[in-house]
A and B are shown apart, each in its own frame.
Chain A
Amino acid sequence: GAVVSQHPSRVICKSGTSVKIECRSLDFQATTMFWYRQFPKQSLMLMATSNEGSKATYEQGVEKDKFLINHASLTLSTLTVTSAHPEDSSFYICSARRDTSTDTQYFGPGTRLTVL
């Protein structure tokens, strides 16, 4: 199978702190990983595309200095929400592209961030 894990699954933090979320592909190598955000009753919104060994590509309107992405290896990408505020509270989901020939993405279980 294609298994993607995320850690932590849930985090509650105070406003102004930074939170790091890890995304790992457990049984395959992923040259490309994606970070999404989903607010209640809304669709997935792509935040950025993370390529191993290079800078992430951010979608329009996503602050790259606030959402730091590092894709240091073929199995790990991290998203750091810096100086989090209550409006950053959301469900953050990563996905990994397993096979470039099919472009199929497999999703991690998501991280629910609550900023107080």
Chain B
Amino acid sequence: QKEVEQNSGPLSVPEGAIASLNCTYSDRGSQSFFWYRQYSGKSPELIMFIYSNGDKEDGRFTAQLNKASQYVSLLIRDSQPSDSATYLCAFLSGGYQKVTFGIGTKLQVIP
């Protein structure tokens, strides 16, 4: 079983719609979860981190964490063409410094 599961996509949504990105993880000891955005040919940039069950909102982005079900999601409201990128979820392995990344979901926002 992979440590992090993400649908590689592409996920296509029309401009203005809500994009929903999902990620599941296998390590029940994980405490910290991250969403990064990576444009083609560029390095990842941090969007959000979340530690507690529930929702965390930052502007158009909402991260959702459900530790019981071992999934974390990212919602992007009012999607813009500039949001088109690959979104990587990541988690910090329980008890370790190591952060494990998913393969990323490619998002395409259609004008």
Q: Which residues of A contact B (CB under 8 A)?
A: 32, 34, 42-44, 46, 49, 91, 93, 97, 102-110
- Classify the secondary structure of B's interface with A: strand
CB pair A102 B43 closer than 8 Å: no
Q: A102-B32, A107-B43, A109-B42 are in contact. List 8 more A-B contacts (CB 8 A).
A: A43-B103, A43-B104, A44-B88, A46-B99, A49-B98, A103-B92, A107-B36, A108-B43
* Nearest 8 Cβ contacts at the A-B interface: A110-B43, A43-B103, A107-B43, A44-B101, A93-B43, A103-B92, A103-B32, A107-B44
How many Å lie between the Cα of A97 and that of B46 in the bound state? 12
In this complex, how many residues of chain B approach chain A with their Cβ under 8 Å: the count is 19
Q: Measuring CB to CB, which residues of chain B are less than 8 angstroms from any residue of chain A?
A: 32, 34, 36, 42-46, 49, 88, 92, 97-104
